Amino acid sequence: MLPTKMRAVAAFQALPIRDPNSLQDVWLPLPTVQDNDVLVRVQAISMNPADVRFRHAIRGKTRPHVLGYDGVGEIVAVGTQVHDYAIGDRVYYMSARRRHGTNAEYQVIDQHLIAKAPRTGSLAQIAALPLTAITAWELLFERMDIRPAAGANNGSIMVVNAAGGVGSILIQLAQWAGLDVIGVASRVNWPWLQKFGVTQLADYHDDLTSQVQKLGYDYIDYIALLYDPVPYFGTVADVIAPMGHVGMVVDSNTPLPVDWLKGKSVSIDWEYVFAKSDYAYRMNTQGEILRWIAELVDDSTIKSTIAYKFNGINAQNLRQAQAMLETKNTIGKITLEGPFDGDAKELDDVKLEESQSYVE
Amino acid sequence: MLPTKMRAVAAFQALPIRDPNSLQDVWLPLPTVQDNDVLVRVQAISMNPADVRFRHAIRGKTRPHVLGYDGVGEIVAVGTQVHDYAIGDRVYYMSARRRHGTNAEYQVIDQHLIAKAPRTGSLAQIAALPLTAITAWELLFERMDIRPAAGANNGSIMVVNAAGGVGSILIQLAQWAGLDVIGVASRVNWPWLQKFGVTQLADYHDDLTSQVQKLGYDYIDYIALLYDPVPYFGTVADVIAPMGHVGMVVDSNTPLPVDWLKGKSVSIDWEYVFAKSDYAYRMNTQGEILRWIAELVDDSTIKSTIAYKFNGINAQNLRQAQAMLETKNTIGKITLEGPFDGDAKELDDVKLEESQSYVE
């Protein structure tokens, strides 16, 4: 028998992360399983910049918002239209942002967004994967015109913020696909990149164009800008190859001089990992990507990108994890492994719909 | 025997096009054929915004710049490395901008940039094709991820400035490839678009988003922005489909709010038709594209985009043609058919290299 209520960590309003009320341990009713949903008992989660961004975007003060976009857990119930998964399956997934997230003991998620978890790796290692792996895969193989197969591509890719969450897995997928990788990161994080086999390294503190030239490149075929693109746009215009692709995942918050890229017929490819679930557009491809990723994990092509792990999923640990991300100085992924062990408080009159509210 | 000098139309400095000295009839020495070149006797040419732009970009006052980027003519000599073409072949091509252009009786051009001319159509109709056809082909089939085969695609494309030079051929290629075309043009030019089979029409003078919705579209899969993108960028953000492509060919001259396209994971694809010859990058693909285009002309898939024709290639006609283009109110293509019949003047001490100078 399933319980009727569950522990969750909720944000009620946009407060500084140091404020103990910014994320709170609460009891919520279990969510209702729709026809295409599975109900998952969440075992481990990981943290993304999306958690920080969506928390800051909360308007109002009273409704509980359950964040959390990476999860792994065990299926405890399935909807009437679910045939490929059964109770007891271990699955991993990236949540849609329009429903409540992984920061709760139980979560409903559309079957098209999930996949069976890799057979290898710890719960925390698996929880580190979905959002960043899907982002990297979609950026490389759906947006930037790179073929998703081992050794199937020639050419070079420069990865800015290569040691970050998306970067740490993107460099591995790019190498698998046959590209020469140039990792751009602070020199202190070069050992992290070398761990993943990246030998061509550049430091964004120094002039990037000349570093690229010293590495022997006139032009770079693909550039993954996994950071504010503004300070990098001049270098991009200098070193991108004719007909090259510039992939971006972070808002510039200011108009960009895209004319700089015209003379070489360059494409600027946005990747926003929630676009498919926001628009209910080919959502099943996100489950498919996770099946590919599970294979690449199980055959040791992809190494774990965990850099930090908290034991216990509760408001205090989540506040600390978000505070770390807000420094923008972390590498790899921050994970939290269950159980949910916060000192949860009862809320008056909470309806489930209120915890599924749409943020941002 | 070839002559030692030829008639040409040259620009010496950036003057207003109404100034009779802005383009002048001159005698120049015949250019020298390099190993990979053919020498063509030019029979017809056509006009592009590039002629206007490059003329305005001239620095200095004394060196002759021979513009002109579309040509058809007869081969009169071949370089030592040319095996696929022979004297007497009729070829058509887009010039590289770093060598002298088609506004001369004789022109050298790299063999990789040329193709045998279509068997059907007048010289002027053939001269109207190369630059706009290559631009449209590269934008659709190399940059925007559309498959270059009859009926091979689903989805919709909105073409802004559909009645212009590139637009008039792009709408035909898009229809051939299976896309639903929405043509955006001033209402007075709708009959021009209907001539090419475009039945879904919108007028940029009125609100575009609501016109698109009235045509029954929630989202448009591809948008070809063949005009200053700035005034259209809001509509683009509204109507572009998730994972859509926005193709651009015209500088914005101001930074663009590309963040508006992030939420739908959109790609912005630049097409600059001189990029390949500027960077000596896959230049042979431009000859290949022209071979495809010749087939599509000969099987009547592509109709002529000529809207205006001048008889006689001389400075006066070229000044008038450029003045028409500068109004930005022309449709289709402006062509000039030979002979070169200007009252040419002799220049003192002109070396050929000076007429090959690089503009812009």
- B239 interaction partners in chain A (CB closer than 8 Å): none
Query: Which contacts of B210-217 are long-range, i.e. CB under 8 A and separated by 24 or more positions?
Result: B212/B158, B212/B182, B212/B239, B215/B182, B217/B156, B217/B182
Q: What is the pLDDT of residues A122-181, one digit of tens each?
A: 999 999 999 999 999 999 999 999 999 999 999 999 999 999 999 999 999 999 999 999
Domain boundary residue, one of B270, B293, B311: B270
Pair A141, A242 in one domain: yes
Q: Please tell me which of the candidates A251, A269, A275 has its beta carbon nearest to residue B264.
A: A275
| Residue A111 DSSP one-character state | G
Best interface-test mutation with B: which of A139, A140, A267, A358 has the largest number of B CBs within 10 A?
A267
> Which candidate, B332, B174, B190, B152, places its Cα nearest to that of B247?
B174
The alpha carbon of residue A295 and the mean position of all alpha carbons in its chain are separated, in whole angstroms, by 18
Pair A226, A342 in one domain: no
| β-strand pairing of A70-78 with A90-94 | antiparallel
Locate the DSSP E strands across chain A: 5-10, 24-29, 37-47, 70-78, 90-94, 106-110, 114-116, 156-160, 180-184, 200-202, 220-225, 240-248, 267-270, 306-313, 333-340
At residue B350, the pLDDT reads: 66
Distance CA(B310)–CA(B327), nearest Å, equals 18
User: B275 in contact with A at a CB cutoff of 8 Å?
Assistant: yes
At residue A328, the pLDDT reads: 87
Best interface-test mutation with B: which of A233, A268, A282, A289 has the largest number of B CBs within 10 A?
A268
User: B154 in contact with A at a CB cutoff of 8 Å?
Assistant: no
> CA-based Rg of chain B, rounded to a whole angstrom?
20
- B256 interaction partners in chain A (CB closer than 8 Å): 255-256, 258
User: B202, exposed or middle or buried, with CB in 10 Å at 0-12, 13-18, 19+?
Assistant: buried
Distance CA(A43)–CA(A55), nearest Å, equals 22
Closest alpha carbon within chain A to B283: A242
Pair A103, A165 in one domain: no
- A272 interaction partners in chain B (CB closer than 8 Å): 262-265
User: A255 in contact with B at a CB cutoff of 8 Å?
Assistant: yes
Handedness of CA B102, B224, B203, B206 (dihedral sign): negative
Q: Please tell me which of the candidates B248, B257, B265 has its beta carbon nearest to residue A275.
A: B265
Distance CA(B330)–CA(A111), nearest Å, equals 54
Q: In this structure, is residue B58 part of a structural domain? A: yes
CATH number of the domain residue A318 falls in: 3.90.180.10
Cβ-based neighbours of A155, under 8 Å, separated by 6 or more:
A179, A180, A221, A222, A241
| Parent domain of A75 | 5-128+282-355
Distance CA(B104)–CA(B107), nearest Å, equals 7
Pair A143, A264 in one domain: yes
Distance CA(B51)–CA(B14), nearest Å, equals 12
DSSP H or E stretch at residue B335: strand B333-340
- A254 interaction partners in chain B (CB closer than 8 Å): 255
Query: A267–B262: do the CB atoms touch at under 8 Å?
Result: no
For residues B47 and B333, the answer to whether their CB atoms sit within 8 Å is yes
User: B256 in contact with A at a CB cutoff of 8 Å?
Assistant: yes
Pair B112, B163 in one domain: no
For residues A269 and A243, the answer to whether their CB atoms sit within 8 Å is no
Report residues of chain A scoring pLDDT below 50: 354-358, 360
Q: Is B186 helix (H, G, I), strand (E, B) or coil?
A: coil
Domain boundary residue, one of A246, A270, A294: A270
Beta bridge partners of A47: A334
User: B146 in contact with A at a CB cutoff of 8 Å?
Assistant: no
User: B243 in contact with A at a CB cutoff of 8 Å?
Assistant: yes
CA distance B64 to chain A (A): 24
User: B149 in contact with A at a CB cutoff of 8 Å?
Assistant: no
CA distance B47 to chain A (A): 20
DSSP H or E stretch at residue B184: strand B180-184
Number of structural domains, chain B? 2
Query: A254–B256: do the CB atoms touch at under 8 Å?
Result: no
Query: B270–A270: do the CB atoms touch at under 8 Å?
Result: no
User: A47 in contact with B at a CB cutoff of 8 Å?
Assistant: no
Place of tokens 């001159």: B26
Pair B237, B224 in one domain: yes
Q: In this structure, is residue B277 part of a structural domain? A: no
Query: Nearest-5° angle of CA B265, CA A124, CA A120?
Result: 95
CA distance A27 to chain B (A): 32
User: A119 in contact with B at a CB cutoff of 8 Å?
Assistant: no
Q: Please tell me which of the candidates B252, B268, B279 has its beta carbon nearest to residue A268.
A: B268
Domain boundary residue, one of A238, A270, A302: A270
Dihedral in degrees, nearest 10, Cα atoms B192, B134, B269, B153: 70
For residues A208 and A177, the answer to whether their CB atoms sit within 8 Å is no
Q: In this structure, is residue A174 part of a structural domain? A: yes
Pair A162, A253 in one domain: yes
Best interface-test mutation with A: which of B138, B232, B251, B265 has the largest number of A CBs within 10 A?
B265
Q: In this structure, is residue A306 part of a structural domain? A: yes
Distance CA(A172)–CA(A326), nearest Å, equals 25
User: A230 in contact with B at a CB cutoff of 8 Å?
Assistant: no
Q: In this structure, is residue B360 part of a structural domain? A: no
Q: In this structure, is residue B316 part of a structural domain? A: yes
Handedness of CA A136, A137, A143, A149 (dihedral sign): positive
Q: Is A120 helix (H, G, I), strand (E, B) or coil?
A: coil
Query: B255–A255: do the CB atoms touch at under 8 Å?
Result: yes
Query: A275–B269: do the CB atoms touch at under 8 Å?
Result: no
CB count within 10 Å of CB A173 equals 23
Pair A216, A310 in one domain: no
User: A257 in contact with B at a CB cutoff of 8 Å?
Assistant: yes
User: A99 in contact with B at a CB cutoff of 8 Å?
Assistant: no
CA distance A217 to chain B (A): 15
> Which candidate, A115, A23, A12, A114, places its Cα nearest to that of A336?
A23
Q: In this structure, is residue B275 part of a structural domain? A: no
Beta bridge partners of A10: A24
pLDDT, averaged per 10 consecutive residues of chain B (360 residues), comes to 94 96 96 96 97 93 94 98 98 94 97 97 98 98 97 97 98 98 98 98 97 97 97 96 98 96 98 95 95 98 97 98 94 97 87 49
Q: In this structure, is residue A277 part of a structural domain? A: no
Closest alpha carbon within chain A to B144: A267
Query: A258–B255: do the CB atoms touch at under 8 Å?
Result: yes
At residue A249, the pLDDT reads: 98
Interface contacts A/B by beta carbons within 8 Å: 106
User: A283 in contact with B at a CB cutoff of 8 Å?
Assistant: no
Pair B262, B154 in one domain: yes
Alpha helix ranges (H) inside chain A? 49-56, 123-127, 130-137, 165-176, 190-195, 208-214, 233-239, 275-278, 284-298, 315-326, 352-355
Query: B243–A275: do the CB atoms touch at under 8 Å?
Result: yes
Pair A141, A266 in one domain: yes
Distance CA(B186)–CA(B267), nearest Å, equals 27
ipTM of the complex as predicted? 0.93
Pair A146, A242 in one domain: yes
Query: B267–A242: do the CB atoms touch at under 8 Å?
Result: no
CB count within 10 Å of CB B79 equals 17
Query: A268–B265: do the CB atoms touch at under 8 Å?
Result: no
Pair A122, A139 in one domain: no
CATH number of the domain residue B195 falls in: 3.40.50.720
Phi first, then psi: what are they for A312, rounded to 5°? Answer: 100, 125
User: A280 in contact with B at a CB cutoff of 8 Å?
Assistant: no
| β-strand pairing of B306-313 with B333-340 | parallel
The alpha carbon of residue A11 and the mean position of all alpha carbons in its chain are separated, in whole angstroms, by 20
Q: For chain B, give the number of residues.
A: 360
